[in-house]
Structure 1
């Protein structure tokens, strides 16, 4: 075989590999979209029936029951990034409310917000569909540095990466009519790039997250529920899982 023929053969093999990878990626996305369109279970969760469809736009997911909670003003629509407001409750005291998705720059904004407060809040109440994992870890570390408690109030949801902020509270109380949920981390990859090329980064990210949970005094085994739940679903933790993992140090009505 001449050098020219050898080069043409190598080029042909590369083209075939590229075609196979592209077809595989398109097929996977098609199957994912078809599966996503299928209706999922709705309504409140119970042990063994804890996976629900993940809708980051819904202020109050269907699997939460507001109950009789404190009079807290919540936005009608979840903000596209974290919003910080101070609210007063007769029983809970001064609450720093975090509403909205967790996006780039939120940790810096939160640090600046804390620096401008004259008095520190009694606790941080979370109402978030989650977002960027690294940003959630950074926000959580600021919560722990400030020695703040974290709360999930009745009817509120803390999903996806939000539980990592919850984990940062010195004390972590979750309402029995709130919701804390986990799922697989989402990593953006180019349309032509199969996921296995990102495995190293994914494993590194999961290792950092597990280390963070250990740092906060939470059993990293709680991540199992997230790792086995697709990113378009959410696994809602029940009371025993919250307490045994110490993601919650106590429950409230």
Structure 2
């Protein structure tokens, strides 16, 4: 390849890369949110790939509520995801005094978001699913390997000690969250009875009796 061709290639290749980078920056990230009148719809099916509740959703929720002042309710279709982002989404919904409405399904940590609604409703045919916190062996092993040095764990037994304390704290926070939003204690306790791979889907009557549904 001659020097001129090489220089030209270098220029155009660099320019092409700069163009691609600019397009990537200008293209908005796929969002699980969309606005429909006074409803802010949160639907995991609006994106492809990873659909779990995550920290990006927290910022997306906050920005949507700042931009669209007319929002009065959040409509949910989600199989759940990470607990702490869900808890922060719930805090924001509670602060804005919004209603929550289940469209198709609301499972796992999505129920934490749902519980924050002033009024909590569900479409006919919808379902709400609860389970205990679950962390598989592969995930625990990976977490130990990634954090052993930073957390000064000398053996897996140190991880087990931390995990025991952390799990109890998360269970306490979850039950406290439910109770603080008017959900009955006996129902809140039932939400942690099933293992992580076996969701409990209460009937509409059970959801109403436990005040998980307010209407």
Normalising by the residue count of structure 1, what TM-score does the alignment of the two structures yield? 0.58
Equivalent residue, structure 2, for 1:131:
81
Query: Is contact 2:53-2:80 (8 Å) kept?
Result: yes
Tell me, what secondary structure is at the counterpart of 2:55?
A: coil
Tell me, what secondary structure is at the counterpart of 2:39?
A: strand
1:26-66 per-residue CA deviation (whole Å, 9 max, x = no partner) reads: xxxxxxxxxxxxxxxxxxxxxxxxxxxxxxxxxxxxxxxxx
Shift of 1:104: 2.5
Query: Is contact 1:133-1:161 (8 Å) kept?
Result: yes
Mapped to 2, the partners of 1:214 and 1:228 lie a distance apart of: 17
Equivalent residue, structure 2, for 1:121:
71
1:190 aligns with 2:138: no
1:153-203 per-residue CA deviation (whole Å, 9 max, x = no partner) reads: 3xx000001111111111111223100000111244226747853111100
Higher relative contact order (CA 8 A, sep 6+): 1
Shift of 1:220: 4.0
RMSD across aligned positions (CA): 2.1
1:96 aligns with 2:46: no
Equivalent residue, structure 1, for 2:11:
none
Tell me, what secondary structure is at the counterpart of 2:106?
A: strand
1:232 aligns with 2:181: no
1:87 aligns with 2:40: no
Unaligned runs of 5+ in 2: 1-29, 45-51, 145-155
Looking at secondary structure, tell me which structure has more helix per residue: 2
Query: Is contact 2:178-2:188 (8 Å) kept?
Result: no
1:114-158 per-residue CA deviation (whole Å, 9 max, x = no partner) reads: 1122x32232110000011111111011111111111113xx000
Unaligned runs of 5+ in 1: 1-80, 89-93
Mapped to 1, the partners of 2:31 and 2:77 lie a distance apart of: 9
Query: Is contact 1:149-1:170 (8 Å) kept?
Result: yes
Mapped to 1, the partners of 2:102 and 2:189 lie a distance apart of: 22
1:203 aligns with 2:153: no
Deviating beyond 4 angstroms after TM superposition, the runs of 4 or more aligned structure 1 residues are 191-196
1:152 aligns with 2:117: no
Mapped to 1, the partners of 2:190 and 2:140 lie a distance apart of: 23
1:187-228 per-residue CA deviation (whole Å, 9 max, x = no partner) reads: 442267478531111001111111111221222433433322
Which deviates the most, 241-250 or 223-232? 223-232
Mapped to 2, the partners of 1:211 and 1:225 lie a distance apart of: 14
Mapped to 1, the partners of 2:208 and 2:81 lie a distance apart of: 24
Tell me, what secondary structure is at the counterpart of 2:169?
A: helix
Structure-to-structure mapping, 1:15-94, within 5 angstroms = 83-88=32-37, 94=38
Normalising by the residue count of structure 2, what TM-score does the alignment of the two structures yield? 0.68
